[in-house]
Amino acid sequence: MIKAEELSKNYGQHKAVNNISFHINKGEIIGFLGPNGAGKSTTMNMISGYLSPTSGSISVNGFDVTENPIEVKKSIGYLPEIPPLYMDMTVMEYLTFAGELKKVKRHDLKEDMEKIMDLVKIGDVRGRLIKNLSKGYKQRVGLSQALVGNPKLLILDEPTVGLDPKQIIEIRNLIKTLSGDHTIILSSHILPEVSAVCGRVLIMNKGNIVASDSPENLSRRLEGTNQLHLKIKGEKSLIEKAIESVENLTNISCGDADESGISDLYLEAQNGADIREEVFYSMSRNSLPILQMRPIDMSLEDIFLNLTTMEKEA
């Protein structure tokens, strides 16, 4: 869907984006992260055609951004952090206006708007003035204008800023439902939101891409180990003896059993080894019931801070 090859953008002597390459596949939800000044906004502006690259190339939906800017813009729906709403228009008037700007054929526009209003759940306010809507509804109207014309790529910049918890969950779920028909780039400073919605993250720092992977894989890669927390019913000495047969362990910590005879066991495996199956069979052979087994991963906040401060510390 998006291919960037050796992409750079200079502002005088300052290199805002430094020779980066990345691919985004059709239907992916990508989290685009980076501290202020990392080059994230510049990169998104080059994807949309708002800025031209100093060197390198970028294509969207098979069209080169520089050579076919109109076709690229037809492929993109954009929701900025502050939705570009006209407060004295009704919802229907605003979406009609957005469709006309995007040159959607008149006989297709009405059907398109009905589908969008049903999807985004704003049909019940179609005749109301936008200025009289709640923050959540305004955000939905902003998302609706991005969907007009059925673009293949959606760029969503801080789509849940200022919303209450219920509205945030609703917008997150809506974004997930859109991923089948649309490729989505989600830029957000709310990192738990990115973890909840995105299958992959691109992290930029000082004009470079420092990571491109799922949050889970990044966590394992940065830790260098797999970590597990288990709750096991049985005597501590028996648990420790049973776990000795498991290979690739670098650290074992077993707490004392509580009143119900359940112990906490913390394990670390080297080189990203997956030891869950071996641990299960070891406990099973020794008749030690595993009541809980869960991975201990770095949070996306930890990953972000780790990757964006490495260079500074070096």
Lowest mean pLDDT among 16-30, 47-61, 161-175: 161-175
Residue 310: predicted pLDDT? 56
Same domain as 198, residue 62: yes
Same domain as 131, residue 36: yes
Lowest mean pLDDT among 14-18, 167-171, 216-220, 230-234: 216-220
Same domain as 150, residue 282: no
Give yes or no for a contact between 155 and 78, defined as CB atoms under 8 angstroms apart.
yes
pLDDT tens digit sequence for 109-165: 999 999 999 988 899 999 999 999 998 899 999 999 999 999 999 999 888 877 888
Same domain as 245, residue 196: no
Same domain as 266, residue 163: no
Residue 193: predicted pLDDT? 79
Does 310 reside within a domain? no
Q: What is the average pLDDT across 64-85? A: 90
Same domain as 134, residue 202: yes
Q: What is the CATH classification number for the domain harbouring 179? A: 3.40.50.300
Does 313 reside within a domain? no
How far lies 201's CA from each of 33, 113, 180, 198, in Å? Answer: 7, 31, 18, 7
Does 301 reside within a domain? no
Q: What is the CATH classification number for the domain harbouring 279? A: 3.30.70.100
Same domain as 231, residue 145: no
Rounded CA-CA distance 30/211 in Å is 12
Kindly report the pTM of this predicted structure: 0.73
Give percent of the chain above pLDDT 90: 51
Domain that holds residue 189: 2-219
Does 314 reside within a domain? no
Q: Return the SS3 of 176.
A: helix
Rounded CA-CA distance 100/148 in Å is 10
Same domain as 273, residue 124: no
Does 161 reside within a domain? yes
Same domain as 125, residue 44: yes
Residue 226: predicted pLDDT? 73
Position 313 pLDDT exceeds 70: no
Residue 52: predicted pLDDT? 92
Same domain as 285, residue 194: no
> Mean pLDDT in the chain?
88
Residue 54: predicted pLDDT? 95
Same domain as 240, residue 115: no
Position 85 pLDDT exceeds 80: yes
- DSSP calls for 70-86: HHHHHTEEEE-SS----
Q: What is the average pLDDT across 40-67? A: 92
Counted domains in the chain: 2
Same domain as 96, residue 27: yes
Does 59 reside within a domain? yes
pLDDT tens digit sequence for 231-270: 999 999 999 999 988 988 888 999 888 888 999 999 988 7
Give yes or no for a contact between 9 and 42, defined as CB atoms under 8 angstroms apart.
yes
Q: Give the residue from 185, 200, 219 where a domain finishes.
A: 219
pLDDT tens digit sequence for 177-232: 888 789 999 988 778 778 888 999 998 988 999 888 887 777 666 655 578 899 99
Residue 88: predicted pLDDT? 96
Residue 314: predicted pLDDT? 44
Residue 287: predicted pLDDT? 95
**What is the greatest pairwise CA distance in the chain?**
76
